[in-house]
A and B are shown apart, each in its own frame.
Chain A
Amino acid sequence: MRPFQYERAASPARAVSSADAGSKYHAGGTTLIDLMKLDVWRPERLIDISALKEPRMTRIERNGKALRIGSMVTMAALAGDEGVRRSCPVLTDSLWLAASAQLRNMARLGGNVLQMTRCSYYRDTSYDQCNKRAPGSGCAALDGSNRHHAILGTSDACIATYPGDWAQALIALDAVVEILGKDGPKSVPFATLHRQPGNRPDVETTLAAGDLITAFVIPDADWARSKYLKIRDRESYAFALTSAAVALRMDGDAVSDVRIGLGGVATVPWRATAAEAVLKNAALSEDTAQQAAEAAFAGANTLEHNAYKVELGKRTLVRALMDTAGMEA
């Protein structure tokens, strides 16, 4: 860790006006402090927003079908919200299955969606090659150890996996991100928040310097038939090898609406639109679920150790679809 300046923001507006390219916001700190200790992030200034009490940043509010979740809500608080669990279990499942109890108590949702990859070559500065950490230096994962790396949304410059779980639910449900920026408040689709690596893997998001996420809005959060299935090497406290966030509306056996997010397999939160198109208005069966899974992974690029994620990803999606269809609406 290198010396840095620390300040506490008195208000969201003050935080944003104080922020610049050399600063980082500090809320739960579970990613930030970790990466600072590892010397991966070297911010000159930390702006502590953890004590901000603005209702729009700290509350979970329902308005009809819409759900508005403040960015300062902890993972644990939303995971434990019984109302949200009943109306939209994919939003709470994906949090229960993430991290550990200690981390869920600390981590705020605004930071959760910005969680950084676990790519070992990114997190260990003793490796020279990492385009995400040191632009233009190369990618050691391409010919290194890549069992955990992405197969969708990759580029020749980066195959680092987006590690989060909750973001798969957000992208599936067409969430909107509310942001306070230097020019005032704005809203952007969650699907546009993260950038695929392309030739600039160091640019993770479309956020501008100083942009502060204040809330997530899910316009239609009425998905009682929804679920998050996470496949991992151990039962608790492990990152997804593959995961699927699925929400269904059924008309008899027919799928009237379907949303699919995929985790563990892509460089960014991943919406499986091709798979959704296969299922929309079709009868849900093993066959159609399998067709949807084939469509979801049609564009996969695999390397030496991660080829299994294609087959595992398909099976994960099929199982999630069949399990979700079996839920009571």
Chain B
Amino acid sequence: MADVTNTAAPTMANAGKPIARYEARQKVTGGKIYGDDLAVPGKPAHGWLVTSAIAKGTITAIDDSAAKAVPGVLMIMTHENRPPLQPMKTFSTGGIGLTSQEPLGGPEIAHDGQIVALIVAETFEAAREAGRKLDISYNEGRPATTFGSPGVVRKTTKEVVGRGGGPTLGDVEAALAGSTHVVEAEYSTPVQHHNTIEMFTTTAFWEGDRLTLHEPSQFVWGAKVGLAKQLGIDPDNVHYVSPFVGGAFGAKAAIGHRTPLVALAAKQLGRPVKLVPTRDQCFTIAGYRQETKSKVRLGCDAEGRLTGYSHELDEFTSLLDPYHNGGLENSAAMYAFKAVGGDMFLSRGDRNVPVFMRSPPEVPVIYALESAMNELAEKAGMDPVAFRKLNDTRVNPVNGAPYTSRSLNECFDEAAASFGWSRRTPAPRSMRDGDWLIGWGCSMATYPTSMTPATARVTLNANGGAKVEVAAHDVGTGAYTIIGQTVGERLGIDPRRIIVQCGDSDLPPGPVSGGSVTTASVTSAVAKACDQLLAKMSASGPMSDEDRRAAFDRIGSNALIEYAEWTPAGMDPKQAKTLYEGGVPFAGGAGEDRTMFAFGAEMVEVRINERTREIRVPRMTGAFAAGHIMNPRTAHSQYLGGMIWGMGSALLEATEMDRLRGRYVNDNIAEYLVATNADIPQVDIIMVPEQDDEINVLGVKGIGELANVGTAAAITDAVYHATGVRIRDLPVRIEQLLV
């Protein structure tokens, strides 16, 4: 193969400038920008977590004599001596907790790797040595591990949490019975862990009654208020500092056990305490993507028009808290279905509590739908792209709410032209290159456009310098860059002269960095604050230097400060107050009056060795339309990373479990596989221009969780095209192809 480069797309219509990242220099020179890097007052003590060696049972005894004898050990906190804490609500029940289980709350063990002790010492090495010497005895029970394990009970989601029946439209059984072609298949997705490069670190210190935390966070205001409640202190006395996050993917929004424990230890010792857990501990002290099963029935008529869509979704979750994602209301909006049915189910076991992971519902649900779409297209004798275009819709078929914009067909056209899709011969095993079987597959990508209230404060100086402050979060997405760009474009000033401050709970509150809401929500608030500034200067758009100086002279001031609150259309503006209470109301996606989604089309080529069956992915093409693109360079990076993630999700990523012992086995990044450079020779990204004047101030749709949706369905269809073998259980493993 020729040398390939994954270059950024050229400047396109309805897009901002592809300026470099705000923090580019710090990122490439190793700047101290992450929570664990930040300076603390005085010499910190160091923490070490001890986690349970069993998945179910009770601690019968703790012998800490050898651990205490290690020189430098300052504290061994266990359930026997933990200071008091208040109850914590989970994210799903209006709180910020990963789990409602109390940290070090008692001798009961509810999952593998539960925190059973926090050791603090003068050095990391002493804390670790003491951790190894802490002798814990257990009475071990037999855990219920996953689907099919003894002791696992399946109930409808509605029975467990009181809601979640799934959308219905018409009589799906009759629609399927009357169909010319029907696909009925079961698809499964595995446990996956976020494996952010930055660990789940926590540093805490107290200055009088005021607690400061340096901790990677996707939601500093939520964390501040939630942790204050758990510690029983005034939220104004909690300061969360998280300027940059070294990978989050949903794992760093909720507060787990470690945070309150480190805060308590710092209080008790009267000095900063710093905790850096190990990689394997990060598999069990934080969340993960739970395993799912989907039973899909999908029908079409003789012309290929979709009829009925039935989807039964099974999710696994923890006996501690019933975290789940659902997602059928979104998949039901995707095509012109005549009838929709299905239900959602939860099975629970002795596991840690799952949490959001990049495109939480869409990754499993759209994988199942799009796989069934590919299978049904084949049954109907249609090209899968033509099949999708035929079944495109302008409204959500379930409630008739129109899409504010939808460019799926344009995405398929652009992707197909670039990829050379017309050269695909449809029969399985019909394309090859020597010993290598070639397969081409495609899928839709989609993600709901959600928005939340946001606030922002913008300071403009007469000389053209500016500062924008909002407690939004940069999890690697480029939030600083586009927030600064918004100010620059709105006011007509050089983005390099704009100071951007994010990730600090002393700033005006922003939403959780989740659901791909940041760009759409925060830039709306920032733009609103800029418009307020312009109004004060009696201007209606970006100003020249001369006009701005003249306006400041007129006003008789050298700086202007404006604070704005923004709420999405259709939401009560009073909801902005929720941000100050540590909450965040969402609007968007499949709504009552409007349907808001971003779309994409993905095409992949796989090559599979005829004999040994290893799978390689020499090229992938993705075309995406998501309204106004703030910055084609950062957007390209999101799409590129998303497609690589999607490919890894299809072929590599899975947490292996010891089903007997209820424990994660490959809990390191040598054996939990993510794509290496060698796995991804070429990824072509196309940004399809799209204008949406209805959706928000700047016409922006979130893109962070778009490109990794559907990729797995494209890959498995390509595997089928290459080999004639349908794989429905992810990830695709070589042993499934040795037939």
Tell me if A236 counts as interface (CB < 8 A to partner B): yes
A318, B611: Cβ atoms closer than 8 Å: yes
Given contacts A231-B612, A241-B734, contact A236 B679 (CB under 8 A): yes
Q: Complex Cα distance A236/B678, Å?
A: 6
Residues of A within 8 A of B673 (CB): 233-234, 238
A2, B129: Cβ atoms closer than 8 Å: yes
The listed residue (B658, B734, B738) touching A144 by CB distance below 8 A is B658
B675, A234: Cβ atoms closer than 8 Å: yes
Q: Complex Cα distance A241/B733, Å?
A: 11
Q: Complex Cα distance A308/B51, Å?
A: 34
A234, B679: Cβ atoms closer than 8 Å: yes
B652, closest chain A residue (CB):
A234
A3, B129: Cβ atoms closer than 8 Å: yes
Tell me if B128 counts as interface (CB < 8 A to partner A): yes
Residues of B within 8 A of A120 (CB): 665-667, 671
Q: Complex Cα distance A85/B666, Å?
A: 34
B658, A145: Cβ atoms closer than 8 Å: yes
A235, B678: Cβ atoms closer than 8 Å: yes
Q: Complex Cα distance A3/B652, Å?
A: 38
A contact patch SS: loop
A312, B612: Cβ atoms closer than 8 Å: yes
Q: Complex Cα distance A241/B679, Å?
A: 17
The listed residue (A143, A147, A235, A318) touching B656 by CB distance below 8 A is A147
A306, closest chain B residue (CB):
B735
Tell me if B539 counts as interface (CB < 8 A to partner A): no
Tell me if A237 counts as interface (CB < 8 A to partner B): yes
B residues 627-680 in Cβ contact with A at 8 Å: 651-652, 656-661, 665-667, 670-671, 673, 675-679
B residues 604-629 in Cβ contact with A at 8 Å: 609, 611-614, 616
Residues of A within 8 A of B652 (CB): 233-234
Q: Nearest Cβ in chain A — how far from B214, in angstroms?
A: 24
Tell me if B536 counts as interface (CB < 8 A to partner A): no
Residues of A within 8 A of B661 (CB): 127, 140, 144
Number of residues on chain A facing chain B (CB within 8 A): 35
Q: Complex Cα distance A312/B614, Å?
A: 10
A residues 229-263 in Cβ contact with B at 8 Å: 229, 231-239, 241
Q: Complex Cα distance A283/B609, Å?
A: 25
Q: Nearest Cβ in chain A — how far from B201, in angstroms?
A: 18
A308, B738: Cβ atoms closer than 8 Å: yes
The listed residue (A3, A124, A236, A312) touching B734 by CB distance below 8 A is A312
B658, A140: Cβ atoms closer than 8 Å: yes
Q: Nearest Cβ in chain B — how far from A95, in angstroms?
A: 16
Tell me if B506 counts as interface (CB < 8 A to partner A): no
A residues 112-154 in Cβ contact with B at 8 Å: 118, 120, 124-128, 140, 143-145, 147-148
A231, B679: Cβ atoms closer than 8 Å: no
Number of residues on chain B facing chain A (CB within 8 A): 36
The listed residue (B128, B129, B735) touching A308 by CB distance below 8 A is B735
A311, B738: Cβ atoms closer than 8 Å: yes
Q: Nearest Cβ in chain A — how far from B140, in angstroms?
A: 9
Q: Nearest Cβ in chain A — how far from B433, in angstroms?
A: 16
Tell me if B132 counts as interface (CB < 8 A to partner A): yes
A39, B734: Cβ atoms closer than 8 Å: no
Residues of B within 8 A of A312 (CB): 612-613, 734-735, 738
Please encode chain A, from 300 to 329, with 1 for each CB lying within 8 Å of some chain B CB and 0 for all others. Answer: 000000001001100110110000000000
Tell me if B301 counts as interface (CB < 8 A to partner A): no
Given contacts A120-B666, A234-B676, contact A319 B128 (CB under 8 A): no
A313, closest chain B residue (CB):
B612
A319, B612: Cβ atoms closer than 8 Å: yes
Tell me if B560 counts as interface (CB < 8 A to partner A): no
Tell me if A1 counts as interface (CB < 8 A to partner B): yes
A308, B734: Cβ atoms closer than 8 Å: yes
Tell me if B280 counts as interface (CB < 8 A to partner A): yes
Tell me if B53 counts as interface (CB < 8 A to partner A): yes
B734, A145: Cβ atoms closer than 8 Å: no
B435, closest chain A residue (CB):
A319
Q: Nearest Cβ in chain A — how far from B667, in angstroms?
A: 8
B676, closest chain A residue (CB):
A236
Tell me if B125 counts as interface (CB < 8 A to partner A): yes
Q: Nearest Cβ in chain B — how far from A106, in angstroms?
A: 15
Given contacts A124-B280, A233-B734, A236-B679, contact A319 B53 (CB under 8 A): no
A residues 44-67 in Cβ contact with B at 8 Å: none
Residues of B within 8 A of A234 (CB): 651-652, 673, 675-676, 678-679
Please encode chain B, from 584 to 601, with 1 for each CB lying within 8 Å of some chain A CB and 0 for all others. Answer: 000000000000000000
Given contacts A140-B658, A232-B614, contact A127 B53 (CB under 8 A): yes
B residues 458-488 in Cβ contact with A at 8 Å: none
B138, closest chain A residue (CB):
A128
Residues of B within 8 A of A143 (CB): 660
A231, B614: Cβ atoms closer than 8 Å: yes
The listed residue (B280, B612, B616, B679) touching A315 by CB distance below 8 A is B612
Residues of A within 8 A of B675 (CB): 234
Residues of A within 8 A of B733 (CB): 233
A145, B132: Cβ atoms closer than 8 Å: no
Please encode chain A, from 1 to 20, with 1 for each CB lying within 8 Å of some chain B CB and 0 for all others. Answer: 11100000000000000000
Residues of B within 8 A of A308 (CB): 734-735, 738
The listed residue (A125, A145, A232, A311) touching B665 by CB distance below 8 A is A145
Sample of 16 more A-B contacts, CB < 8 Å, known A125-B132, A233-B733, A312-B735 = A1-B129, A118-B671, A124-B667, A144-B660, A145-B656, A148-B671, A231-B612, A234-B652, A234-B676, A234-B678, A235-B616, A235-B678, A311-B738, A312-B738, A315-B612, A319-B609
Which 9 residue pairs are nearest across A and B when measured between Cβ atoms? Answer: A308-B735, A126-B53, A236-B678, A235-B678, A236-B676, A145-B665, A144-B658, A120-B665, A319-B611
Could you show 9 A-B contacts with beta carbons less than 8 Å apart? A118-B670, A120-B671, A124-B280, A124-B667, A125-B132, A147-B656, A233-B652, A312-B738, A319-B611
A→B interface (CB under 8 Å): 1-3, 39, 118, 120, 124-128, 140, 143-145, 147-148, 229, 231-239, 241, 308, 311-312, 315-316, 318-319
